[in-house]
Amino acid sequence: MTTTLHFDQEVMNLLHAAGGEPLSTCIQCAMCSASCPAAPFMDDSPRRLIALINADLRDQVLASNTFWTCASCFACTERCPRGIDPAQLMYALRRYSIWKGVHREDLVGPDFSRRFVRTILRNGKSYEPGYAPAFIWEGGFPGMVREVQGALRLLRKGRLPLIPSRIKDLDGFRRMIGRIIPLEGFE
Amino acid sequence: MTTYAYYPGCSLETMAASYHVSATEVARRLGIDLVEIEDWNCCGATAYSQVDELLAQVLCARNLALVEQSGRTDVVAPCSACFKNLSFANLHMQDDGDLLEHMNYALDADGLAYSGSVRVHHLMGMLVDEVGIDAIRARVTKPQEGLRVAVYYGCQLVRPHRPGQGMQDVEDPRFFEDLMEAIGADVVPFPHRLRCCGGSLIVTSRKAALAMLHELLRSAGESGADLIVTACPLCQVNLELYQAEVNREFGAEFKMPVVYFTQLMGLALGASPKQVGIGSEIVKAGSVLACRGAATP
Ligand code: SF4
Ligand code: SF4
């Protein structure tokens, strides 16, 4: 027999490892939203997103830009009177939407995350120019020119590397990662 | 000489080289030996846990295992994001035997093992808690008198809170101000000192990040600061590199230098501007430092 999980239960499972109290204990006091510096740019405030999850409105939640507009500042987490961890919730929803491939196409975040991970699997270290193309998108051509200007400013000050830095033991590193996730998915 | 394992992190190799240089200089002048972890890897920054939690975890586990293998018990990270990642990954493994076992299964493929014995410090935490504010004050030869600094904590230096960290140090910390006062700087009231710089939103949600940066710069400007002082490469780069874009977007005229706390500390301990990497900023700090007499040899 199979049981279909409600979306709020699925989200709860995602949060199992993160700790924090269950979302069902939320009293909708909006302390999280009031503490959130990114709230004006979110489709739904953190409080509202939690209400949507608790109402099992999966599609509405996944269509929201909220969890990709979170800066991971943890202000909400520190202030929630019920010990809920909205910041980890935002991470969990990002993972969920990447796994399920259900994120919105107009967002830069999912692609940025994947690129970043690919860079590190290749080098063991992060390399800013390697994932620059991901963030050139958003601003279109003027955005690209601005990025290039910024990059040139850094370059002139010797603050951008021309070749990526690599760890020495890349083979061992990749064997280790291979025991956590299948590497093929990222290559 | 006290020795610590040192985890510079990716940005200190490149964008934040002046943080690395000044951190090393300060440590040397305080009789602390920072020994870089041999063949460390990226801590995962913020992007990893967006993709896979265990992946984020194992990246930190490898660095901690390398520290243990080197026979050291304490590791210092200057980057607030690296510090947060390493310290929480460490706590999770110390609390959860199953997770530790899972990590060891992966580490074994790289010829490593981790028992959970390492202590993780932020560079500033180590200086404040282990060296001590008074000991630092006693070593100051060039007090940064008259330099008005906006002390910027940002997020991960204090949040999320760690076991043993008092609520005071989360909601209303003082240690950064105390440290800057100990080197003679004039700390101005900066209401936004704990507010987020936008972090990686600068990449993924530019509008939101620019608005957040604008708020910070305005708050710092109104406080009468000569410069912002920070303890995180991401904050430094966001506040400095994107200042021009904030100016364009909001019709503002900020010219606010953003320096690392170790750069000011180094100067106060007698280092030359060059020795602490002054000169690699995009918004020049030299003139503010010089006209205040702070950086003059
Ligand atoms: S602060 Fe906590 S209890 Fe209040 S609305 Fe937000 S998540 Fe719910
Ligand atoms: S962690 Fe995210 S949701 Fe929470 S206050 Fe910060 S930006 Fe808002």
Q: Are A25 and A82 in contact (CB under 8 A)?
A: yes
Q: Is A117 a member of any domain?
A: yes
**Domain-located, residue A95:** yes
Q: Are residues A115 and A92 in the same domain?
A: no
Q: Are residues A119 and A67 in the same domain?
A: no
Using the beta-carbon criterion (under 8 Å), do B15 and A138 form an inter-chain contact? Answer: no
Residue A30 near ligand 2, beta carbon < 6 Å: no
Q: Cα separation of B40 and A133, whole Å?
A: 26
Note whether A95 and A132 are same-domain residues: no
Residue A135 pLDDT greater than 60, yes or no: no
B211: closest CA of chain A, how far (Å):
9
Residue A1 belongs to some domain of the structure: no
A168 and A126 share one domain: yes
Q: Structure pTM?
A: 0.88
Nearest protein CA to atom 8 of ligand 2, as residue: A36
Ligand 2 pocket, A120 CB below 6 A?
Answer: no
A141 and A63 housed in the same domain: no
3-class secondary-structure state, position A175: helix
Quote the ligand 2 centre to B163 CA distance (angstroms): 21
Please tell me if the CB atom of residue A29 comes closer than 6 angstroms to any atom of ligand 1. Answer: yes
Chain A partners within 8 Å of B201 (Cβ): 38, 69, 71
Q: Is 50 exceeded by the pLDDT of residue A132?
A: no
Contact B47 A175 (CB under 8 A): no
Structural domain contains residue A185: no
User: Does A32 fall in a domain?
Assistant: yes
The domains found in chain B, sorted by start residue, are 2-123 (1.20.1050.140), 143-291 (3.40.50.11810)
Question: Rounded to an integer, what distance in angstroms lies between the CA atom of residue A62 and that of residue A78?
Answer: 25
- C-beta of A38 in contact with ligand 2 (< 6 A): yes
Q: Please indicate, yes or no, if residue A57 is contained in any of the structural domains.
A: yes
CA distance B295 to A70: 39
Q: How far is the CA of A55 from the centre of ligand 1 (A)?
A: 15
Domain range for A70 is 7-100
Q: What is the pLDDT of residue A105?
A: 67
Contact criterion met (CB < 8 Å) for B49 and A91? yes
Centre of ligand 1 to C-alpha A47, Å, is 6
CB-nearest to B10 from A71, A95, A125 is A125
Domain ends where: A100, A129, A163? Answer: A100
Within a domain: A58: yes
Mutate to test the interface with A, among B36, B39, B42, B206 (most CBs of A within 10 A): B42
Can you give the CATH number for the domain in which A53 is found? 1.10.1060.10
Q: Which one of A43-47, A127-131, A139-143, B235-239 scores highest in mean pLDDT?
A: A43-47
DSSP state of B155: S
CA atoms within 13 A on the CB side of B210: 15
Non-local (6+) Cβ contacts of A25 within 8 A are A82, A83, A84
Ligand 2 atom nearest to A32, measured from its CA: 5
Residue of A125, A135, A160 lying closest to B42 (CB–CB) = A125
Residue A104's φ and ψ, nearest 5 degrees, are: -70, 145
A24 and A82 both lie in a single domain? yes
Q: Are residues A162 and A118 in the same domain?
A: yes
Ligand nearest the Cα of residue A89 is: 2
- Does the ipTM surpass 0.90? no
My answer on whether A24 and A43 are in the same domain is: yes
Look at B205 and A109 and tell me if their CB atoms are within 8 Å. yes
Give the Å distance between the CA of B190 and the centre of ligand 1.
27
Same domain, A37 and A78: yes
Minimum distance, in Å, between the CA of residue B135 and any CA atom of chain A: 32
Written as one string, the DSSP assignment of B206-270 is: HHHHHHHHHHHHHHHHHTT-SEEEES-HHHHHHHHHTHHHHHHHHT------EEEHHHHHHHHTT
- Please check whether residues A93 and A15 belong to one and the same domain: yes
How many Cα atoms sit within 13 Å of B96 on the Cβ side? 15
pLDDT digits (tens, 9 = 90+) for A89-108: 998 888 888 777 776 766 66
A chain contacts of residue B211, beta-carbon cutoff 8 Å: 40-41
**CB of A71 shorter than 6 A to ligand 2:** yes
Alpha carbon A46 to its chain's center: 15
Query: How confident is the prediction along chain B (297 residues), in pLDDT tens digits per residue?
Result: 799 999 998 878 778 889 999 999 999 999 999 999 999 998 876 555 555 678 888 999 999 999 999 999 999 999 998 999 999 999 999 999 999 999 999 999 999 999 999 999 999 999 999 999 999 999 999 999 999 999 999 999 999 888 888 788 888 999 999 999 999 999 999 999 999 999 888 877 889 999 999 999 999 999 999 999 999 988 998 899 889 999 999 999 999 999 999 999 999 999 999 999 998 888 988 888 875 555 544
Domain finish residue from A42, A76, A100: A100
CA-based end-to-end distance of chain B: 27
Residue A67 confidence (pLDDT): 92
Question: What's the domain count of chain A?
Answer: 2
Residue A79 sits in the same domain as residue A127: no
Whole-number Å distance between alpha carbons of A89 and A11? 8
What band does A41 get if pLDDT is binned at 50, 70 and 90?
A: very high
User: Alpha-carbon torsion B265, B28, B174, B19, what sign?
Assistant: positive
Position of tokens 């940025």? A112
Give the C-alpha separation, B18 to B24, whole Å.
Answer: 10
Shared-domain flag, residues A146 and A86: no
Residue A166 falls inside a structural domain: yes
